[in-house]
Structure 1
């Protein structure tokens, strides 16, 4: 069936057309005008409408590179349906290389927003009105915060109809079935009945090749699952290896000082009682304090800082009944990166 003409923010996009439209963002405080580019790939044939957004937090640059590579992939494909991408949502944060907007608000706690609200509220409102409302699936790309690394994982609320199958098609090693957070894009999507998955991978202000490739690979798999593309990619359409859990917990520093990891714990299974790191007194006046895993699981996020203060989050551990699939997936990704 032939696709219909799409109209977004007064712009007409015909079937088979790729167009970049510019959403005006509030001027920065020097009155310099800025716009947010929105990329629209409108297939000749009717099909699902998927949006992908990144840099809702302005320091999460890994996600921008994921969308760039997805664009390269789409150029080689005959698309069925519509793909809308916003590589940089929080343009103010990207300019300042910070997580937040210039008014220190978190955009991902400001949805659904308001046309006449705060800076964050206005951006949130525009994203819902012009992008989300034109789609029936969504992917929101993120990384860990400054000084934290997240392994490739999804955050999904399975109570939204269709979200479980949609999430599994991404083929991420770990899916956290987690509740929505007030003011998040995921909550706004759920209220509109749109399945949305949040991809987490990497760290702020840095590229991580493993997490970038996992994100691109996941998006390609999703589009194959939705029958938006036909692909010879060897990963597209593969049976999901994802393991799902509702249980995760941050292990916090029992003391202040310098952190000495016992070994690389990232994306590694750990046993209850295992020593993950030792915290040393920088003045060498007191004995070291061990950081101990509270239960069996896999490390899905960790602090990268060399120093810590008592109570700081150090290791994010997810609990699973079976974790062999997660280890196998990570090793497969690492092999793929070493031998592209």
Structure 2
């Protein structure tokens, strides 16, 4: 009888003051501060520590308190996962900006933007302390992260990934996510993505939908994308996706340059442009009028590409951002697909035009 080497059990995962055993899920609260009533405010984290070895990944949402789409994305993703079959470890943080989320506010009580406060400091402002806690207990333990966002300031966004496309691993995971468009985006000082990249993590930033709205199409794109990334990292089996459309990432369009068409006059805007729409230079996107309906100015595309964002505000001032257009790589002439995958991606965009 041949001897076999006994398998070494996977160690428990330490976070905060607790340890999560392999094959188990644990919800914990990492203390942030106290309210004036004495009630404690904590950073909510669910740890799925799989029985089998694999990457350590985080997914977070609501770093801006009014961005609720990602919270629902995480809830639905977690409902599909089991620590018994999971490979690796997932740290899910559905609400990073707890104060803002409770108030329905993008910012913290002192009006600081949490996503400009990383990596933070243990003795800094409230924003700095939350950022420091997130870095120490979550990000520093992980090799890959997905940061979920929505449009801000009465804007809505097409599902899209923003990432460093010059990094091969980041680009591969961005393509695996399967959002209609992936955008090469520079790092912003103080952002979670910049701080995490500085620590060596691979980070995808997902944008989809509008603040304070549960847009079904935005949520579904996020759920599918997160599950595809977990599958690409071999953390879940294909049958976890339970759908051929989820298991196989659709073709994506790549952009390295985007720009906003801005209001040339102050007035009331009526936009015809829809998310995912293909446009060419000079195409009409809408019009600006005064309160009596007199047309003051037409809104026209200043570049060819795909509409990836637009304002939802009817009243605009001169200079306000109206329509966000992404120029697409590999299109010749601009905005026209020149290969089958691009054509399929444009067809997919047509199916999810929502406004």
* Structure-1 separation of matches of 2:153 and 2:321: 12
Matches within 5 A, 1:1-340: 2-75=9-82, 78-160=85-167, 162-232=169-239, 233=242, 234-261=244-271, 263-283=272-292, 287-320=295-328, 321=331, 322=337, 324-331=343-350
Structure 1 residues 181 and 227: alpha-carbon distance in aligned structure 2, compared to 1, 3 A threshold: same
Under a length normalisation based on structure 1, what TM-score does the superposition of the two structures give?
Answer: 0.93
User: Which of structures 1 and 2 has the bigger CA Rg?
Assistant: 2
For structure 2, the residue ranges without an aligned partner over 5 or more in a row are: 1-6, 332-336
> Aligned equivalents of 1:36 and 1:201: distance in 2?
23
Take 2:292 and 2:37, find their aligned partners in 1: how far apart are those partners? Answer: 47
Residue 84 (structure 1) shift? 0.7
Post-superposition Cα deviations, 1:101-149, rounded to whole Å, max 9, x if no partner, equal: 1110001000000001110000000001001111111000000003100
Any unmatched runs of 5+ in structure 1? 336-340
Once the two structures are TM-superposed, the CA of residue 212 in structure 1 deviates from its matched residue by 0.3
Native 8 Å contact 1:221 1:235 kept in 2: no
Q: Secondary structure at the match of 1:169?
A: helix
Q: TM-score, normalised by structure 2?
A: 0.89
Q: Deviations over 1:8-35 (max 9, x none)?
A: 1121111101001111122234443222
Following TM superposition, by how much is the alpha carbon of 1:5 offset from its aligned partner in structure 2, in angstroms? 1.4
Q: 1:239 to 1:77 in 2, by over 3 A?
A: farther
* C-alpha distance in 1 between matches for 2:246 and 2:286: 38
Deviations 1:216-258 (A, max 9, x none): 0001111111110112331344145111111000000011111
